[in-house]
Amino acid sequence: MPRYRLLIEYDGRPYHGFQAQAGLPSVQGAIERAVKAFCGQTLRLQAAGRTDTGVHATGQVIHVDLEKDWRPEVVRDALNAHLVPEPIVVLEAQVAPEGWHARFSATRRRYLYRILNRRSPPALEQGRVWHVKKPLDAEAMHRAAQVLVGHHDFTTFRDLGCQAKSPMKTLDVAAVRREGEHVFLDFASRSFLHRQVRSMTGSLAEVGVGRWTADDLKAALEARDRKACGPVAPAEGLYLTAVEYELLPRANN
């Protein structure tokens, strides 16, 4: 039974997160229905990460085990045809190497948070950015973000409903940059706690508007207390942009 690696892009606004939920629209449910329509097979796909309600992806990775040996381009195009009019697209399909798993083979996940920093609200980007009216000091945010890099107890930036066994995580990248009216926050780690990125982003925004200093952010991290977290950034600005693997499937298309 061949395993296919699929690179997925989606707009998270219409869905109650990635994971399938009974009676609620989900990205996973939409893709599994497309597989059923394509080849008649009922299956449960596996994903590199489960994004929350309203969170987007430009680089989500999933795998499906199909009973028939299809050409990868056929799988990609057929699923896209059956996903219309869902805001979900299969960008790429490849046959995965033996033993490869979308979730367990992943070595790093990358997230991007997008902030529109101007007085006027978004028109074209509504639902795809966090609109912050007050001027943000992106350089101060970047300097402060460096206290988050490394191996830490991230309890402060962990949602109370998080089911991870441990709050200990290693954050490889925390970078903030401005491009015109936009402020972008990049984060990379092998794995993240539930709402960790949105929690860190909200606290960094406190630095950006001048309510917090880098020392305040460091104190919040060291408090290991959810109550020390700043406001949690909304879901609409968050994107899963890439999943990295030591052993990448060879392109077949």
* Domains defined for the chain, CATH in brackets: 3-104 (3.30.70.580), 107-241 (3.30.70.660)
Exposure string over 19-33, b if 16+ CB within 10 A, otherwise e = ebeeeeebbbbbbbe
Of the chain, the percentage scoring pLDDT greater than 90 comes to 95
Active site residues: 52
pLDDT interval class at 247 (50, 70, 90): low
Rounded to an integer, the average pLDDT of 197-216 is 98
- Four-point Cα dihedral 59, 115, 187, 139, nearest 10: 140
Rounded to an integer, the average pLDDT of 9-18 is 97
Gap between the Cα atoms of 61 and 102, Å rounded: 6
pLDDT interval class at 248 (50, 70, 90): low
Rounded to an integer, the average pLDDT of 151-169 is 95
pLDDT interval class at 246 (50, 70, 90): confident
DSSP state at residue 148: G
Where on the phi/psi map is residue 29: left (φ > 0), alpha (ψ -120 to 50), or beta?
A: alpha
What is the average pLDDT score of the chain? 96
Write down the pTM of the prediction: 0.94
Query: Distance of CA 79 to CAs 62, 85, 101, 118, 198, Å?
Result: 13, 12, 20, 39, 31
Q: Please determine, for residue 27, whether its predicted confidence score (pLDDT) is greater than 90.
A: yes
Q: Which of 3, 2, 5, 1 is nearest to 253 (CA)?
A: 5
Structure tokens at 131: 């609109």
Query: Distance of CA 78 to CAs 27, 44, 60, 81, Å?
Result: 17, 18, 19, 5
Determine the pLDDT at residue 253: 41
Q: Whose structure tokens read 């994004």?
A: 51
